[in-house]
Amino acid sequence: MGPGLIGYIIRRLLWAVPVLFVISVLVFGMLRMAPGDPVDRILGTHYEESAARQLRQKYGYDQPLYVQYVKYFQNMAHGELGVSTLHTDFTATDVILPKVWISSQIGLFALILTFGLGIPVGIYAALARGTFLDPLVISWWLALDAVPVFVLTTLTSWLFALKLGLVGLSWDGVYSTHIILPVLVLALPGVAGVARFMRASVISVMGEDYIRTARAKGLKESTVVFSHIARNAMLPMITVIGLSLPGIAGGALFVEQGFGIPGIANESLQAALAPDYDVILALVLFGSVLFVLANVVIDVMYAYVDPRVRLGARRG
């Protein structure tokens, strides 16, 4: 990693600061504009006014909006993201981190499975182009993609848990057999997309001159497929993988709801409905940071895979 690359990464990360600032102002303002506040929800209809006053004071809602924001920003600079009103007594970080961690692990397993299946399926379909196997393989995965997630959830729960008794459905931590169904339901519908992308990529690489050259040199077919076609066809795939990364930390609402997973998507929904101001803000900021990071990671990965890409090099 040359100095140019490090400088590039630092510049990109610094750019994230104004982006986050603008996002936080926007979201902060929008939340406060919505009718009803967390205190309404905590206290219900009947309560002493003093209780509401005290709570609004505790959470700072009695201050003018800009004061509230400045305070929030100061706390944010110290790494404090506020307090959850939905899960009273817990800080926003306390609430979010365990859930992000849970969703990320499940998401990562699903991602590995999606690409682990999608890439070889795509290569296979491309190589089988012109035979009946190509459309057969692709359409089978497309069919899975076409089934709504909540149907898959119900079907797999019914089949594997109730009928076959193979797995449990209650949340039992990430490292238990109970996680198999959610990961499958999360991963399988995505395989078709990856496979089709990979198929197109392989087909376009197969038409390149250098592939013909490789064959002409008398290289073994497996060498041609592995070293030449697959490697070059993976290049555009990196963008797809990279852009999928922030998604895995975001969780998947239907899967989390369907299997009762205490993940971040479930939390986001609850926070939005409550409303839980600080948790919503923290979630949005967190998502933005991930997105920025993912883009940097993609650029860096490109530099590694494709020697022609030189990040941070001066142009002209």
Query: Least CB distance from residue 313 to another protein, whole Å?
Result: 32
Spatial contact of 197 and 237, defined as CB atoms under 8 Å apart:
yes
Considering beta carbons, is residue 54 or 204 the nearer one to another protein?
54
Torsion over CA: 13, 15, 21, 24 (sign):
negative
Rg value, the chain, Cα: 25
Report the nearest approach of another protein to the CB of residue 22 (Å). 26
| CA nearest neighbour of 73 among 25, 18, 38, 27 | 25
Smaller CB separation from another protein, 16 or 254: 254
What are φ and ψ of residue 83, in 5° steps? -120, 140
123/246 Cα distance (integer angstroms): 26
Min CB(65)–another protein separation in Å: 18
Nearer to another protein, 252 or 311 (CB): 252
Nearer to another protein, 69 or 124 (CB): 124
Work out how close the CB of 302 gets to another protein at its nearest, in angstroms, rounded to a whole number: 21
Please state the separation of Cα 198 from the chain's center in Å. 20
Query: Would you say 24 or 266 has its CB closer to another protein?
Result: 266
Backbone φ/ψ region at 131: left (φ over 0), alpha (ψ -120 to 50), beta:
beta
To another protein, the closest distance from the beta carbon of 311 in angstroms equals 26
Q: Find the shortest distance in angstroms from Cβ 88 to another protein.
A: 5
Between residues 63 and 257, which has the closer beta carbon with respect to another protein? 257
Q: Where are the alpha helices (DSSP H) in the chain?
A: 3-33, 38-43, 49-59, 65-77, 92-127, 133-146, 149-156, 180-206, 209-216, 221-223, 231-250, 253-259, 264-273, 277-305
Tell me the one-letter amino acid at 138: I
